[in-house]
């Protein structure tokens, strides 16, 4: 280093200067990457290939790595026989509503804690973050009782999308991520907008949000993925089969569905999330690593 300080790494620079050291480093790095890739990709392959097998082949005690006989019709049968399209629409509705509620509530809370700085704001933030220390199962009962009888207005939200939307709106992790990003926005930009006569809401809409597109993309993806893959909470608050998302519907229909069609339904339920991640993976990394603005 130019300042005389040494940088400690896992592999010593003297080892990397040797041919044997470079070969060992590349071997270990490649093996690690391949192992982790297989650990994540193989379950997806097993699910997708299992949907192409016959039910008899899936029931064998000795599993087969590739289908002995291909049955791609299990995908179309799973879609048409149980009406997965209807449950896909239910899931899309829940995800879209949760996304909208989360953006409104979490952005407002993060902006208030970061830029408006209310009294006891740090205490409120600490209480929000404390909820992340609790397991989800510990919050199920109080949240369910709140949804059954909403305080003050005494409304029962069971079997309505609001039973999913409203609890999802209060997301402490998203509020923390947004606040950390808002903290990096220079105060001079906000002061200039205030001098021009902009109020707090106008500053948020015209200055803060346009600069926060990377982190907003991250929060949006987390919101959609969180609702799309959720199972336990929708099962509790949406007992009506006609209003259930695809995760709950597949679990309910698994008793009567052939095994290959069930796997086909799981594959189709997973495809939107995989496509969403592959398209926006750069936005996710950029939003999570964005810590400052270059002036």
* 108-156 pLDDT tens trace: 999 999 888 888 888 988 998 888 888 888 889 999 999 999 988 889 9
Contact present, 234 and 161 (Cβ < 8 Å): no
Tokens found for residue 291: 């810590």
Confidence (pTM):
0.80
Angle (nearest 5°) at CA 143 between 137 and 149: 150
Residue 97: per-residue pLDDT: 95
pLDDT digits (tens, 9 = 90+) for 41-62: 888 888 888 888 888 888 887 8
Compute the distance between CA of residue 81 and CA of residue 102 in angstroms, rounded to an integer.
35
Give percent above pLDDT 70 in the chain. 89
pLDDT digits (tens, 9 = 90+) for 83-115: 888 999 999 999 999 999 999 999 999 999 988
Compute the distance between CA of residue 150 and CA of residue 197 in angstroms, rounded to an integer.
39
Q: What are the C-alpha distances in Å from 208 to residues 32, 180, 190? A: 41, 13, 8
3-state class percentages of the chain: helix first, strand second, coil last, to nearest 5? 75, 0, 25
Compute the distance between CA of residue 52 and CA of residue 261 in angstroms, rounded to an integer.
9
Contact present, 157 and 150 (Cβ < 8 Å): yes
List of residues 6+ apart from 267 with CB closer than 8 A: 47, 48, 51, 75
**Phi/psi zone of residue 4: left (φ > 0), alpha (ψ -120 to 50 degrees), beta?**
left
Mean pLDDT, rounded, for 65-69: 84
DSSP per-residue string spanning 21-40: HHHHHHHHHHHHHHHHHHHH
* Nearest residue to 144 (alpha-carbon basis) of 154, 125, 157, 134: 157
């Amino acid at each position: 280093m130019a300042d005389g300080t040494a940088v400690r790494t896992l592999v010593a620079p003297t080892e990397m200067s040797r041919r044997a050291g470079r070969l060992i480093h590349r071997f270990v790095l490649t093996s690690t990457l391949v192992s982790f890739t297989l650990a994540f990709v193989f379950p997806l392959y097993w699910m997708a290939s299992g949907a192409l097998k016959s039910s008899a082949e899936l029931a064998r005690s000795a599993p087969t790595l590739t289908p002995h006989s291909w049955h791609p019709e299990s995908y179309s049968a799973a879609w048409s026989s149980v009406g997965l399209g209807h449950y896909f629409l239910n899931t899309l509705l829940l995800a879209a509503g949760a996304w909208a509620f989360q953006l409104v509530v979490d952005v407002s809370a993060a902006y208030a804690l970061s830029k408006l700085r209310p009294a006891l704001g740090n205490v409120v933030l600490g209480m929000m973050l404390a909820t992340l220390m609790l397991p989800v199962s510990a919050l199920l009962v109080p949240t369910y009782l709140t949804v059954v009888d909403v305080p003050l207005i005494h409304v029962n939200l069971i079997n309505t999308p609001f039973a999913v939307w409203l609890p999802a709106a209060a997301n402490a992790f998203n509020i923390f991520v947004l606040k950390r990003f808002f903290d990096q926005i220079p105060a001079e930009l906000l002061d200039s907008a205030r001098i021009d006569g902009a109020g707090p809401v106008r500053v948020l809409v015209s200055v803060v949000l346009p600069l926060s597109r990377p982190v907003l993309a991250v929060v949006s993806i987390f919101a959609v993925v969180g609702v799309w893959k959720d199972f336990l909470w929708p099962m509790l608050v949406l007992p009506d089969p006609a209003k259930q998302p695809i995760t709950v519907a597949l679990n309910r229909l698994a008793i009567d569905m052939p095994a290959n069609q069930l796997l086909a339904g799981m594959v189709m339920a997973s495809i939107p999330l995989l496509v969403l991640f592959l398209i926006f993976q750069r936005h996710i990394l950029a939003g999570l690593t964005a810590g400052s603005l270059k002036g």
